[in-house]
Every structure is written in C-alpha cells, then in structure tokens.
Structure 1
Amino acid sequence: MNNGQPQQLPLQVQLPDDELFATFFSADNGQVIDWLTTVAISERLPPQTSRYSWLSGPAASGKSHLLHATVAAANEQFKKVMYLPMKELQQVARPAAVLEGLEQFDVLCVDDVDQVLDNKAWCFELFALINRITDAQQCRLIMTASQAAAQSEVHLADLKSRLQWATAYQLSPLADTEKAQALTLRASWRGLQLPPDVAQFMLHRLGRNMRQLLRCLNKLDTASMAQQRRLTIPFVKQTLSI
C-alpha cells in the first residue's frame, strides 16, 4: 500500500476532474480552502485535535467538491489518500471491512459521514478508526455532514464526543450573484466563455441548485464543442430544451 503512488479509490469511484480548489468559488469560504489545502499538502503533522476536520453545510453547498479537491491536491503531492462516499457505502454489511487499515493513509476523506451515524455497527467501527488514527499519528481525517457534529444524531455517545474534537467549518451558502460567478469560473476552467446575461438566465430558468446548474453546464460544454457554438441564450434554450 505504501508505494509512493496515488491510491486507487474504493468502489472504482471516479471523481470529477473539474472539482479542484481552483474551480471552487470561495466567496466567504476562503478560510475553509486555506485549511483543506494545508491538510492536503503539509508535510508536518498537526496537533492531535487538528488531525480531524469537520465540514458542514446544506446539500449542494460544495462539501463534496472540496473533498474531491482535497483528494486531487494530496494526490499531486504523492500522498496516500482515500475517499469514502458514505451515501454509497451505508448499506455495507461489515463496516470493519471498509475501515480496516485506513489509519495508514496520509489523508482520509469521508463524505456524508452523517449518513451512517445512526447505525450501531458503523458508529463502533468509526470510533475504533479514530482511536487508531490517534495512536498511529499519521492520518488526517476530513469528514463532511449536513450540520455541526454537536447537532448531529450519533448512535454512540463516545463517538459524538470524538467528532467534536474536529476543527470545524460551516460552509456559507452562495448568494445568487455568487452562483452566477461560480458558473462563470467553472465555464472558464473548461475553456468556455459564459456571458453574465447567460449565467443569469440559467439561474432564472434552471433554479438555484448548484449541482443541477453544473450538470447543465457540462451538457452545454459537450454540445458547444460538438456544434462549435458559443454559449448564448438561444443556444442554452435549444440545448437544454427550456
């Protein structure tokens, strides 16, 4: 496992190649990016309680994007990194088989950990993992959830206490103008020019959910390349049938 190469992700998870720190529109979340960048690339071991990070925020606020970016940054430093999508893993019958040995990684990203905190078996194994991480003094653990650890329902009281050790950040939601800027940033990364009026049109007609907006942008990117068309309001209407 310790071969100096980036590690294969579990369950053949293919992370989006455009979800990097550079493509995350930070707005009021700059401190979060600074912290996660440090966690991903630092060679120095942080103090014990700073080895654990808890990132909370509502759906589509960018939690998964930031974990994917952390994985990419850590991989670039040839660190041993693992990403666990708990929405996909919550039905696993033997959590121990998933979590065994993960304290040996440099960076461990657990997305949507609150999906399993009401499960007795998962709670006991997560508690054991955190204890192993503390003893091994090697791994940095980053978890995401919809709300703060103190407000999360956790089956095991001792685990909830451990989770509250973490350095915690609450993601600030983007205003509508910032969502338009976030779309423009992602389009620019893809080599697309997204005029302000087109970005505003997309928000008006497609809603404010960033996940849905970015899926539509991906579709527009593919169509724009295939048809050699610029992103205009008529083109958006035609491509997305709106």
Structure 2
Amino acid sequence: MSTGSPIQLSLSVKLSDEATFRNFFSGPNQLAVRAVQTLADPQSNPGDGALYLWGASGSGRSHLLQAACHRMDEAGGVAMYLPLANMIEYGPALFEGMEEVDLLCLDELDAVVGHADWQEALFHLYNRLRERGGRLLLAADSAPRSMALELADLTSRLGWGLVLQMQALDDQGKQEVLKLRAEGRGLQLTDEVARYMLNRGARGMGELFAALEKLDQASLQAQHRLTIPFVKRIMNW
C-alpha cells in the first residue's frame, strides 16, 4: 500500500456497518449527536465547519465519527475516517490532499501528542479545509487545551470550532445500548439478561459488544434465545 496515496489508504479503513446514527443511543449526548448529524448533512450550514468531541473511552466518539461518514456517503458526498493511532507509522504526508474530501473524520487525535511533524501537518490541513469550505470532525480523550500539544497554534486552531464533551453512559444507558445493538442483529435481549451481562462481564462497551457478538453466533448455531442460563453457559460465567 502506497503511503503517497491518502485516498487509497483511507479506503482501507473499513467503517463498521453497525456504526450508524440509528444504532446510537444518545442518552446524555443528544447535543453532540445533533451537532454531528448537522455536520454530516451536506445540505446543512455547520457554521465554522469543525467539530471537536472529547470524553472518556466508551462514550461513543468513534461510533459517531463513523456514523457521520456513513451519512455523508449516503448523501453522495466523500467522507474519510482515519483512526490516527493506527496511522502514525505512515507519516504526516498522509494528510496531503485530504482537504479535497467533503467530510474528514480524525479519530484518536491524542496520537499526535509528541509528534511535532504531525501537529504541523494537521495545522496546515485544518487551514486548507477551512479555505476550501470542507468539514472536519475530530475526536480525542481530552479537550484541546488539555492535550499538551507542542504546537500552540494547533491548540488554538482546534478550539475555533464547536468543542463538546461526550458523557460516559451509566448502567441504564449501557443496558439500552446493548438492547439497541441486539435489536439491530435481530436478537431479543430482555432487560433481565442485559442486566446480567452488565453485572457478570466486563463493563466496557467494546467488551460488551464483543460478548453480544459471541452470543449472537451461539444463538444462531443453537437456535436458542438469549436467556440467563444460556448466556451463563456460553460466556462461561
């Protein structure tokens, strides 16, 4: 794969089919969801054209960035999703030409901390996008001024657009997310079984989704609905 072809590289980052707005439980993050939906709608006026989301792991940032790409693609636009933690090895030349897309979604922005060359490249990309009227959606663990970036101009630039904090879900929210994801898979997940999964397994959303994936496959093979005894046996709890 050529590092000189950002379009080709970006296409290798496959979006999750399940990462859609329909599958996202807004909970305490309704404002952020509406802001992302506006940014992903080519017919809307997103104001500055930049949106920065930050918050704890598992708050749904990556889901929203991928959902935005799906929405822009469906509208006939060109969108890119890049998880930067997986891209550092390719070098900051990766950003060349990316201002040509309609929506650029950069996830895991914290990965550029300690990489002055990446920060400078991102600074110039931001300016090119702004001049062209493109849209930029960013996600990180912390707010711009808390990232300890070496390039002060980039810190300032990242704060120009709308900056929103994503709130982590409580147990009730996680339960609703599990039920929504199960419904999308054609599974019936009762409140009782969802609570059991939360109480017995790992509590991170990634781990919960992985457990649901395993249970989905086992349920199909065994032609068995999701009950507590069935979940306990399959998950070895």
Provide the TM-score with structure 2 as the length reference. 0.93
How far, CA to CA, are the matches of 1:164 and 1:199 in structure 2?
39
How far, CA to CA, are the matches of 1:183 and 1:44 in structure 2?
31
How far, CA to CA, are the matches of 1:28 and 1:101 in structure 2?
36
How far, CA to CA, are the matches of 1:16 and 1:236 in structure 2?
25
Amino acid at match of 1:192: L
The residue aligned with 2:3 is none
The residue aligned with 1:174 is 169
The unaligned stretches of length 5 or more in structure 2 are 1-6
Q: Which residue of 157, 161, 169 corresponds with 2:156? A: 161
By how many angstroms is 1:141 displaced? 0.4
1:144 counterpart = 2:139: yes
The residue aligned with 2:217 is 222
By how many angstroms is 1:11 displaced? 6.1
The unaligned stretches of length 5 or more in structure 1 are 1-6
Amino acid at match of 2:111: Q
Other structure's SS at 2:28 match: coil
Cα deviations across residues 9-49 of structure 1 (Å, max 9, x unaligned)? 626222211111111111111111111111111324543xx
Aligned identity (percent) is 40
Q: Which residue of 66, 74, 77 corresponds with 1:76? A: 74
By how many angstroms is 1:8 displaced? 6.4
The residue aligned with 2:92 is 95
1:20 counterpart = 2:13: no
Residue 98 of structure 2 contacts residue 125 of structure 2 at CA under 8 Å; is this kept in 1? yes
Distance 1:184 1:168, change over 3 A: same
Provide the TM-score with structure 1 as the length reference. 0.91
By how many angstroms is 1:85 displaced? 0.9
The residue aligned with 2:40 is 40
1:201 counterpart = 2:199: no
Amino acid at match of 1:150: R
How far, CA to CA, are the matches of 1:181 and 1:147 in structure 2?
26
How far, CA to CA, are the matches of 2:233 and 2:81 in structure 1?
37
